[in-house]
Structure 1
Amino acid sequence: MNLVSIRIITVNVEALIKFYEHITKLTIKRFTPDFAELQTKTATLAIASINTLQFFGGESVAQAAKNRTAIIEFMVEDVEKEYNRLAPFLEPYIVQRPTIMPWGNNSFLFRDPDGNLVNLFTPTTLKAIKKFEPTN
């Protein structure tokens, strides 16, 4: 089994597309007005409007902008550099400036426009770095 994607349900697909394109410097592929994907080497972040909930049993299945449990994480080459690049844009959304976590990552935490937590991190300790090395 492989984790392939995480999907965010939103009332404003366009705002999240612009936000995540700015954060990641990647182009998001829009498949319909209600569905888009940000594809990386390891996983996909899907962005879908509340209109797509009809395919999963209706609007009671998920609620936009109500997440308080998950963190969307992106590993970056240099979290301090990303913080310096993004801090002016993210100022109202910043939760935690870059901080070394007990497990060895330098972590920068903020919220997207829907309130979802986003973590940009760089492994800094040998143990953390080894965790993300490719295995053959």
Structure 2
Amino acid sequence: MNLISIRIITEDVKGLVSFYEQLTGMPAIHYTDDFAELKTRSATLAIGSTRTLQFFGGAEVAKAAQNRTAIIEFMVEDVDSEYQRLADSLQPYIVQVPKIMPWGNKSLLFRDPDGNLVNFFSPISPEAIKKFKN
């Protein structure tokens, strides 16, 4: 089994895609006005409109802007430089400035415009670096 993607359901595909494009520096692939993907080396962040829920059983299957349990995580080369690059645009969304976590990662936490929690992290301890080495 292999985790391939995480899909965010939103009422504003265009706005959320634009946010993640700015955040990652990667262009999204727009399949329709209701669905886009940002493909990374290891997984895909899919963004779908609430209209796509009709294909999964109806509007009650998922609710836009209601996530309070999952964290969308991106491993980055240098958390501090990403924080400096994005500090102005992320200011209203910052949850935690870069901080070293007990498990050996340096982490920057913020929310996207829909309130989803996002973590930019860099492994910094020898154990964490070894864990993520390819």
TM-score by length of 1: 0.98
Structure-2 separation of matches of 1:89 and 1:32? 27
What CA RMSD, in Å, does the superposition of the two structures yield over aligned residues?
A: 0.3
Say whether residues 1:73 and 2:73 are aligned partners: yes
What is the rounded CA distance, in whole Å, between the counterparts of 2:76 and 2:32 in structure 1?
29
Report 1:73-112 matches (<5 A).
73-112=73-112
Cα distance in structure 1, aligned partners of 2:99 and 2:59: 38
| 1:39 alignment counterpart | 39
Tell me the SS of whatever aligns to 2:20. helix
Aligned to 2:51: 51
What's 1:26 paired with?
26
The alpha carbon displacement at 1:18 in A equals 0.6
Shift of 1:100: 0.2
Residue in 2 that maps onto 1:113:
113
Identify unmatched segments of 5+ residues in structure 1. none
Deviations 1:56-109 (A, max 9, x none): 000100000000000000000000000001010000000000000000000000
Question: 1:45 is aligned with what amino acid?
Answer: L
1:2 equivalent in structure 2: 2
The list of structure 1 runs, each at least 4 consecutive aligned residues, that deviate by more than 2 angstroms after superposition, is none
Scaled by the length of structure 2, the TM-score of the pair is: 0.99
